[in-house]
Amino acid sequence: MKNKTKLPGIFLGIVLVVMYLPILMVVLYSFNEGKLIASWKGFSLDWYVQLFQDEEIWEAVKNSLILGLLSCFSAAIMGTLGAVGMARVKWRTKGAVEYISTIPIMIPEIILGMVFLTFFHLLNLPNGMVTLVIAHTAFCIPYIYMMVKARLVGMDKALEEAAQDLGATPVRTFFDITLPLILPAVASGCLLAFAMSWDDVIISIFVTGPRVTTLPIKIYTQMKTGVTPEINALCTVMLGVTVLVLTLSGFIQKRFQKKQL
Amino acid sequence: MGEIILSLKNIKKRFGETEVLKGISLDVEQGEFITLLGSSGCGKTTTLRIIAGLEEPDQGQVILEGRDVTKLEPHKRNVNTVFQSYALFPHMDVASNVAYGLKIRKVPKTEQKKKVEDVLNLVQLGEYGKRYPSELSGGQRQRVAIARAIVNNPRVLLLDEPLGALDLQLRRQMQIELKRLQKRLGITFIYITHDQEEAINMSDRIVVMNQGIFEQMGTPDEVYNHPLTSYVARFVGSANIFHRDGKAYAIRSEHVLFSKEETYPYRGVVKEKSFAGGQLRVLMQLPDGQEITASRHGIDAQVAEGDTVCLGWEPDHAVPVRE
Specify the CATH superfamily of domain A50-259. Answer: MetI-like (1.10.3720.10)
d(CA A193, CA A203): 14
CA pair distance A104, B275, nearest whole angstrom: 63
Of B52, B74, B87, the CB nearest to A159: B87
Put simply, the answer to whether A158 touches B87 (Cβ < 8 Å) is yes
Asked if B75 and A167 come within 8 Å (Cβ–Cβ), the reply is: yes
Query: Average pLDDT, stretch A101-116?
Result: 86
Angle (nearest 5°) at CA A167 between B144 and B183: 50
Task: Give me the DSSP letters along A1-59.
Answer: ------HHHHHHHHHIIIIIHHHHHHHHHTTBSSS-SSS---B--HHHHHHHH-HHHHH
Q: To the nearest whole angstrom, how far is the Cα of B83 from the nearest Cα of chain A? A: 7
How many helices and strands, by DSSP H and E, does chain B display?
8, 18
Nearest to A31 by CA among A241, A230, A240: A230
Q: Give the closest residue to B86 by CA, choosing from B50, B134, B131.
A: B134
Q: What global pTM score does this model have?
A: 0.80
- CB spacing of B89 vs A156 below 8 angstroms: no
3-state secondary structure of B41: coil
What is the SS3 assignment for B283?
Answer: strand
Q: What percent of chain B has pLDDT over 70?
A: 99
Domains in chain B (CATH in brackets) are 4-225 (3.40.50.300), 254-321 (2.40.50.140)
Q: Which of A237-241, B24-28, B270-274 reaches the highest mean pLDDT?
A: B24-28
> Would you state the pLDDT for residue A258?
59
Count CB neighbours of A3 within 10 A.
Answer: 6
Closest CA to A147 of A191, A107, A199: A191
Interface predicted TM-score (ipTM) of this complex, two decimals: 0.84
Contact A177 B84 (CB under 8 A): no
| A106-120, A126-140, A245-259, B134-148: least confident range | A245-259
pLDDT of A26-55, one tens digit each?
A: 888 888 887 766 677 778 888 888 888 888
pLDDT one-digit tens code per residue, A53-73: 888 888 888 899 999 999 999
pLDDT single digits (tens) A137-185:
999 999 999 999 988 988 888 999 999 999 999 999 999 999 999 998 8
Q: Which of A248-257, B131-140, B166-175 has the lowest mean pLDDT?
A: A248-257
In angstroms, rounded to a whole number, what is the distance separating the alpha carbons of residues B162 and B138?
Answer: 11
Q: Is pLDDT of B154 > 80?
A: yes
Query: Residue B46 and residue B20: Cα distance in Å, rounded?
Result: 8
Instruction: Report angle CA B71, B72, B78 to the nearest 5 degrees.
Output: 140
Amino acid of residue A123: L
* Record: contact B104-A177, CB cut-off 8 A: no
- Alpha-carbon gap: A75 to the closest alpha carbon of chain B (Å): 25
Alpha-carbon distances of A173 from B85, B196, B282, rounded to whole Å: 18, 36, 56
Going A148 to A150 to A151 to A153, the CA torsion angle's sign is positive
pLDDT, one tens digit per residue, over B86-102 is 999 999 999 999 999 99
Picking from B64, B75, B93, B105 by the largest number of A CB atoms within 10 A of its own CB, the best residue to mutate is B75
Euclidean distance between CA atoms A136 and A68, whole angstroms: 8
pLDDT, tens only, A135-145: 999 999 999 99
Q: Are B199 and B35 in contact (CB under 8 A)?
A: yes
- pLDDT for res A40: 76
